[in-house]
Amino acid sequence: MSTPYAKLPAWADYGLIPLINLLVAFVVAGLVVLLVGENPLRAAVILVEGAFGSGQGLAYTLFYATNFIFTGLAVAVAFHCGLFNIGGEGQAYIAGLGIAIIVLAFDSTLPWWVVFPMAIIASALFGALWALIPAYLQAKRGSHIVITTIMFNFIAASVMVYMLVNVLKPAGSMAPQTRQFLEGGQLPKLGWLLAEFGLKVRPSAPLNISFLLALVMAFLVWVLIWRTRLGYEIRTYGFSSKAARYAGISETRIIIVTMLISGALAGMMALNPIMGDQHNVPLDFVSGAGFVGIAVALMGRSHPAGIVPAAILFGMLYQGGAELAFEMPNISRDMIVIIQGLVILFAGALENMFRPTIQGIFASFSPRSVGISATKGERA
């Protein structure tokens, strides 16, 4: 039981094991489909076709993926620091408020390319602010950040309901949401980009320019974590807080700065649904994307190069899941929630379940690859 996990070759560590975990998660999800009385293989075909089979489907897949890239990066940055930011949901929700303030003030006078940068800053600022208090409490008073960020999710939900119902709702309107944004608050769509590749995309497809922002952020996060001094400090602290303290890294500063970055990334997620698709701030527009970020970060092993494909995979599940609900009445979109849970379970909590077996296999083929120099007989 207490044998240490020996080293595996990098490709097995970063490729094989996540792949096996993912596979198991999908097999279990397939069993659920079977339990509901549908054919899991057919379900998988419908899912993939719905997500990638048409230009329209692809546009939706990438639209959802945009949300998950932002929230996945947010969770990942915190992970690198050994922090678990479970509050992406609340941070993104509050960021909607920041965007609303900017857009409602300027959308009638300024063009989108002026409003957009301001909205980016506002969303990042509001998201970061919502992460600041939990970060401060963790750094200064030792309050567990998981609990405080969960609490802040609920507080955010209450604040936003209050703001939308009592403050932001235009007079005379019944629906608890802001007024419709004018031209200056609407982001250009990216459907034409897919059309360039000969795919058919209707102008209604919600894929928009914030997808590109998400990719830029993924790159910047990579630069931050692996190519800057701050990133090095974040990783050091995450790896061993004692070592970081010994090296003279300020604990308070690292925790707070990391959480601010994480909150800002989560906050930017709000740009995509609000300015890119809905053109207003409705209730509950985050709809779980903050939590999907956890699954995405775990699956992508907290590396942007893993997070982007993982986000696209979840985008595929969301888009394909909608098609699936259409074709198979017994399977609603909630199937994705199960898959998400299973991915978090197998790629996250049980990530080491298959490791000893795989190590055994590697060791029997090539002892050197797992760091065992002598044969087993000699060691015993």
Partner 1 sequence: MEFVDALINILNSTIRVSVPLLLACLAGLYSERAGVFDIGLEGKMLAGAFAGAAAAAVFASAWIGLLFAILVSVGMALVHGFASITHRGNQIVSGVAINFIAAGSTIILGQAWFQQGGRTPSLPPEGRFGEIKLPGADALRDVPVIGQLYSGLLSGHSLLTYVAFLAVPFTWWVLFRTRFGLRLRAVGENPAAVDTAGISVAWLRYRAVICTGILTGLAGSYMALAQNAGFVKDMTAGRGYIALAALIFAKWKPVPAMFACLLFGFLDALSIRLQGTPLPIIGKVPVQLMQALPYVLTVILLAGFIGKAIPPRAGGVPYVKER
| Residues near partner 1, by CB under 8 A | 1-4, 32, 35-37, 84, 86, 133, 137, 141-144, 146-148, 150-152, 154-155, 158-159, 161-162, 166, 291, 294, 298, 330-332, 334-342, 344-345, 348-353
- Write down the least CB distance from residue 330 to partner 1, Å: 5
Q: Which of 371, 332, 297 is nearest to 9 (CA)?
A: 371
Which region, left, alpha or beta, applies to residue 82 given φ > 0 means left and ψ of -120 to 50 means alpha? left
Both tokens of 322, joined, read 């909608």
Both tokens of 187, joined, read 């982001």
User: CB–CB of 266/83 below 8 Å?
Assistant: no
Cβ distance to partner 1 smaller for residue 2 or 373: 2
- 169: DSSP letter: S
Question: With the C-alpha atoms ordered 298, 300, 302, 304, is the resulting torsion angle positive or negative?
Answer: negative
How far apart (Å, rounded) are the C-alpha atoms in residues 281 and 294?
24
- Write down the least CB distance from residue 151 to partner 1, Å: 4
How far apart (Å, rounded) are the C-alpha atoms in residues 316 and 324?
11
Cβ distance to partner 1 smaller for residue 84 or 232: 84
- Write down the least CB distance from residue 144 to partner 1, Å: 7
How far apart (Å, rounded) are the C-alpha atoms in residues 169 and 162?
10
- Write down the least CB distance from residue 120 to partner 1, Å: 28
Cβ distance to partner 1 smaller for residue 251 or 351: 351
Q: Which of 285, 287, 289, 270 is nearest to 92 (CA)?
A: 270
Tell me the CA distances in angstroms from 88 to 156, 260, 303, one per residue in order: 11, 11, 18
- Write down the least CB distance from residue 87 to partner 1, Å: 11
Cβ distance to partner 1 smaller for residue 187 or 255: 255
Cβ distance to partner 1 smaller for residue 109 or 352: 352
Question: With the C-alpha atoms ordered 171, 177, 183, 185, is the resulting torsion angle positive or negative?
Answer: positive
Cβ distance to partner 1 smaller for residue 8 or 336: 336
User: CB–CB of 268/131 below 8 Å?
Assistant: no
- Write down the least CB distance from residue 149 to partner 1, Å: 10
- Write down the least CB distance from residue 215 to partner 1, Å: 26
CA atoms within 13 A on the CB side of 116: 15
User: CB–CB of 367/375 below 8 Å?
Assistant: yes
How far apart (Å, rounded) are the C-alpha atoms in residues 132 and 262?
10
- Write down the least CB distance from residue 116 to partner 1, Å: 30
- Write down the least CB distance from residue 150 to partner 1, Å: 6
Cβ distance to partner 1 smaller for residue 215 or 353: 353
Q: CA-based diameter of the chain, in Å?
A: 83
Cβ distance to partner 1 smaller for residue 279 or 301: 301
Both tokens of 360, joined, read 């055994």
Cβ distance to partner 1 smaller for residue 152 or 181: 152
